[in-house]
Amino acid sequence: MRKSIFKLAAACVVVGSMSAAAPAFAQDEAAEEAEGPFTVSGGIAVVSDYRFRGVSLSDKDFAVQPTLTVSHESGFYVGVWGSNIAENPGEDIEVDLYAGFAGGDTVTYDLGVTYYMYPGVSAFNYAEFIGKLGTTVGPVTLGGMVAYAPSQDGTGNTDNFYLGTNASIGIPNTPLSLSGSIGYEDGAFGDDKIDWSLGVTAEVKGFTLGASYVDTNRFVGGLGKAGAVFSISYGF
């Protein structure tokens, strides 16, 4: 198993629209004052296989992944994400601490840093800087990201670069959305590695159900072979 794991956890940004009617605007303003400048969001997911950039980090077993984010109205956010990973001596839990700044309207942006921790094996801890852009064109949502981990102890004193893009589209009059992604990685955790996925999600009574096909051109000891991943998550 690779020494470290790159996991992007982004803040959830909620953009509301103001009504032209004065009474409605007053109610919205009062609600904002009552809520204050901070927003707390989070959730929990159960996945049949913790795949990250095409590679199974749970040895193709189930994983439970809670998350919690605190966002400020300015766009600044901090949060924590966790998961069980493949059991190795002293290394069976991943905890990601992240912070950044997000915003934008027609084109959204998210600039942040994530620190990956492995309780019990601190020598594997490391940091990664991440930038994201996104936009919506009709029913299609498009996104791209660049991630860079400078050379440090947790990366084996070698840097790592990842470039990814993704797209999703909601199917009209249904709770279903289709999505796809492709990424390229080179450095400490990849040697001209390409990963890709195709998936579908459904919103059912507050839960998100998902199924996807994930593959890479690098098997990484068999953990990068093509496979199906199923998930169920709930957020607030």
Q: Which token pair is 80?
A: 């924590």
Per-residue tens of pLDDT for the chain, all 236 residues: 333 333 333 333 222 333 333 334 344 444 444 468 999 999 999 999 999 999 999 999 999 999 999 999 999 999 999 999 987 666 789 999 999 999 999 999 999 999 999 987 888 899 999 999 999 999 999 999 999 999 999 999 999 999 999 999 999 999 999 999 999 999 999 899 999 999 999 999 999 999 999 999 987 778 899 999 999 999 99
Q: Which token pair is 60?
A: 């193709």
Residue written as token pair 């801890």: 125
Residue written as token pair 């629209």: 17
The whole-number pLDDT of residue 49 equals 97
Rounded Cα–Cα distance for residues 68 and 131 (Å): 20
CATH homologous superfamily for the domain 22-235: monomeric porin ompg (2.40.160.40)
Closest by Cα among 46, 35, 19 to 70: 35
CA dist 27 → 19, 24, 40 (Å): 10, 5, 21
- How many Cβ atoms from other residues are within 10 Å of residue 164's Cβ? 19
The whole-number pLDDT of residue 120 equals 79
The whole-number pLDDT of residue 2 equals 39
Say if pTM beats, i.e. exceeds, 0.85: no
Q: Angle CA(168)–CA(42)–CA(80) in degrees, nearest 5?
A: 100
